[in-house]
Structure 1
Amino acid sequence: MNSKILVKTYKYDNSLHYAWVSERIIENEEYILLKSAPPRRLFHFSRNEIYEFDDYSLEFISKTKGYTINVDIKSTSKEFYCNICDKPKIENNTVTLIDLDIDLIIDQNYNAYYVDEDEFEINKVKYKYPPEIINSVNEMKRYLMDIYTNKQFPFDGFFNEFINNIQK
């Protein structure tokens, strides 16, 4: 099952936003779980930058709902970065997504908060988001906070085994 996967994220106008390469460790009908090892690189096309990270990460990509979860794994802590997006398209070891701006951050102290809501307000006008996209984003905000607060999959301990193996 382990194979390289290219993940490409676009903005709503189809401009390439960012991309990275990861290793697939699980794939089923519901999700894909990827792992990135250092030095991991994120190509951020919107900023014309390449970011390099010296830690591991897991990337959970829902196949059925519009979100991804990136888990940044430090030696003694972890942070979650949940991206609201459209459902992925998967073809030939490439996953493509459309980023819908708003992200849920769960910091190393387990505080959960949304960022980039201002970017969403700007982009919904700039890109003329249709009402169904706006409604979908608002529903996903509620959904992500609910599954985190209620410790539902994948916030039910699903990541722990993978994180523990990496932190050894």
Structure 2
Amino acid sequence: MNDQQIRVQSLKYGNQLHYEWDTTLLEKTDAYIFVLGHRGRKLKHYTKGQVFTVEHWTIEFFPFDAWFTVSADIVDGKITQYYCNISQPAQFDENKVTFVDMDIDLVYRNGRWNVVDEDEFSENAIKYSYPPDLVRNVIHEQQSLEQRIEQGRFPFDGTIDRFIKMLPLEG
């Protein structure tokens, strides 16, 4: 495993820092980056003014040309949850990946996919004055991500699983 540290920063519309955490690089191409979130890492949440400890490993995917992110929770060598943000395409600069979180999320837990935070999207569309074309694009991108998941297209085609073997065995 590579030991290059990558800071991940989630921004709100207008590039306001929302939250951030540190990860380790797994793979980077011209189109995307995969990083490993270490068990026990600290997530600094600026919007809530709190620091959280994340108690599990995550394999995280940030495409530079698509409107979503993926975080797969890994427990006992298996993916137990997916958390996908609808976001503007990620950007990578030296040792930092950033993305603008557009509020709506798709979450897989307990064997089901659900859309969450649609109310937050509606509230923030007003609060941050999202342009109408941005609102339409976010809704379109949510539908596009749902289709990608249903069809098992990258990275939901087993790609994330190949990184699991890189994790230390849990005691």
TM-score range, shorter chain: over 0.9
Q: Say if 2:21 is the partner of 1:24.
A: no
- How far apart in 1 are the matches of 2:91 and 2:84? 18
User: Residues 84 and 100 of structure 1 are in contact (CA less than 8 Å); yes or no, is this contact kept in structure 2?
Assistant: yes
What TM-score, normalized by structure 2, do the two folds share? Answer: 0.91
The residue type equivalent to 1:72 in the other structure is D
Correspondence for 1:64: 65
Q: Are 2:8 and 1:10 equivalent residues in the alignment?
A: no
Partner of 1:96: 98
Kindly indicate whether the alpha-carbon contact (under 8 Å) linking 1:57 and 1:73 is maintained by their aligned counterparts in 2: yes
- Which position in structure 2 is the counterpart of 1:35? 36
Matches of 2:118 and 2:65 in 1, distance apart?
Answer: 23
2:109 counterpart residue number: 107
Q: Are 2:40 and 2:54, in contact at CA under 8 Å, matched by a contact in 1?
A: yes
1:126 aligns to 2:121 (yes or no): no
Q: CA RMSD in A?
A: 1.5
Return the alpha-carbon distance in structure 2 between the equivalents of residues 156 and 70 of structure 1.
15
Count, aligned residues: 167
Q: 2:110 and 2:12 mapped to 1: Cα distance?
A: 28
Gaps spanning 5+ residues in structure 2: where? none
Rounded to whole Å, the distance in 2 between the matches of 1:145 and 1:65 is 13
Out of 6-15 and 94-103, give the one that drifted further.
6-15
SS across alignment from 1:125? helix
TM-score of the superposed pair, with normalisation by structure 1 = 0.93
The one-letter code matched in structure 2 to 1:86 is Q
Identity %: 31
Check whether the contact 2:56–2:75 (CA below 8 A) recurs between aligned residues.
yes
User: 2-side partners of 1:14 and 1:32: how far apart?
Assistant: 20
